[in-house]
Amino acid sequence: MNPGQPHTTVLLEEAVAALVGEVHAPNAVFVDGTFGRGGHSRRILASIGPGARLVAFDKDPDALAAASAIQDARFSIRQGSFTQFGELAAGSVAGVLLDLGVSSPQIDAPERGFSFRFDGPLDMRMDPTRGESVADWLARAEPSAIAEVIRDYGEERFAGAIAKAIVARREKQGPVQTTAELAHIVAGAVRTREHGQNPATRTFQALRIFINAELEDLRQALDASLRVLAPGGRLVVISFHSLEDRIVKQFIARHARDVVDRHAPFAAPRPMHFRALARVKPGAAEIAANVRARSAVMRVAERTGVAACAAAEARP
């Protein structure tokens, strides 16, 4: 494993302060949906009372190994998607934290296949024991499907050319197997690129998001927060690119207003479920100390006083 850049938790103090807020319930339950290496979880445990609990989730077996170092009866962790917190009892949770994307240890481990900076197997699965790797998917996917993924999840304008190049390589030399091979193919297909950005950046992002169903998981988790958060409970989401942040922004906006049923205009409007509290960006000092923080956006919302169980009816 390449040691790379040490993992630094982004917006640590701001996220935990927003999550815990003014919660004084002695038996409050909090959720860290993305344990990673435990930066947020450890700070949450230091900020909550002796009777409170923290339930964490992570797909990555390495994250679970790191969690074993936390010897605190208030803490538990489950392997799997953070969508699983939706299985908790309705209205039982005081705060949900989601720190989205890939962590520094994952990026800096060549064997995980997340980065074009290191040559390794083209995997990119958050849980390498489940599902299909990027290499396996690219070995069978149609050009149109590859182009659609790269365009929709990477916002890459050369998606069609990249897809054709990947398939051409597959037909002539066999499937793409390593990160270096993919980065080389993309570099040959991308005609121009923003200054300072590797040509493969958007393609790697797109394939990682797709193979891990990251945006689908995010939508499900946001919907689940409607059901599990108690009135006054906090939803805190840290995003690292525009696709994630757009989903979070639109979700909060959609549920932060009273909704009038146009088919029953004289009926009482459905009350809002969230109150938007903040949009926070890292400060200059944090960005200077951790360049990976530069694209982070944190959004905070509070569950309104409507009975949480009523939100089950609002879920699609």
pTM of the model: 0.89
Whether pLDDT at 76 is above 80 = yes
Name the average pLDDT for the chain: 90
Six-digit token pair at 242? Answer: 């525009």
Q: HEC profile for the chain?
A: CCCCCCCCCCCHHHHHHHHHCCCCCCCCEEEECCCCCCHHHHHHHHHCCCCCEEEEEECCHHHHHHHCCCCCCCEEEEECCHHHHHHCCCCCEEEEEEECCCCHHHHCCHHHCCCCCCCCECCCCCCCCCCCCHHHHHHHCCHHHHHHHHHHHHCCCCHHHHHHHHHHHHHHHCCCCEHHHHHHHHHHHCCCCCCCCCCCHHHHHHHHHHHCCHHHHHHHHHHHHHHHEEEEEEEEEEECCHHHHHHHHHHHHHHCCCECCCCCCCCCCECCCEEEEEEECCCHHHHHHCHHHCCCEEEEEEECCCCHHHHHHHCC
Instruction: Say if CB 176 and CB 122 are below 8 A apart.
Output: yes
Distance CA 242, CA 99 (A): 14
Tell me what pLDDT residue 267 has: 53
Supply the pLDDT for residue 260. 54
Instruction: For residue range 14-31, list pLDDT tens digits in order.
Output: 999 999 987 778 899 999
If one counts every other C-beta atom within 10 angstroms of the C-beta of residue 216, the result is 13
Q: Are 92 and 71 contacting, i.e. CB atoms less than 8 angstroms apart?
A: no
| Average pLDDT estimate for 302-316 | 54
Give the closest residue to 11 by CA, choosing from 35, 40, 34, 31. Answer: 40
Within its chain, how far is the Cα of 292 from the centroid? 15
Q: How large a percentage of the chain has pLDDT more than 90?
A: 79
Q: Which CATH architecture has domain 12-104+214-314?
A: 3-Layer(aba) Sandwich (3.40)
pLDDT of residue 264: 56
Side chain identity at residue 22, one-letter code: E
Q: What is the mean pLDDT of residues 73-92?
A: 97
pLDDT per position as a tens digit, 199-254: 999 999 999 999 999 999 999 999 999 999 999 999 999 999 999 999 999 999 99
* Whether pLDDT at 269 is above 90: no
Q: 316 falls in which pLDDT band (50, 70, 90)?
A: very low
- Spatial distance between the Cα atoms of 156 and 200, rounded to a whole number of angstroms: 10
Q: Which fold has domain 127-211?
A: DNA polymerase; domain 1 (1.10.150)
Binning pLDDT at 50, 70 and 90, where does residue 13 land? very high
Residue 140 has pLDDT above 50, yes or no: yes
Domains 12-104+214-314 and 127-211 share a fold: no
Give the pLDDT band of residue 283 (cuts 50, 70, 90): very high
Residue-wise pLDDT tens digits, 178-194: 999 999 999 999 987 77
pLDDT of 39-75, one tens digit each? 999 999 999 999 999 999 999 999 999 999 999 999 9
Q: What is the structure's pLDDT at 313?
A: 40
Domain ranges of the chain: 12-104+214-314, 127-211
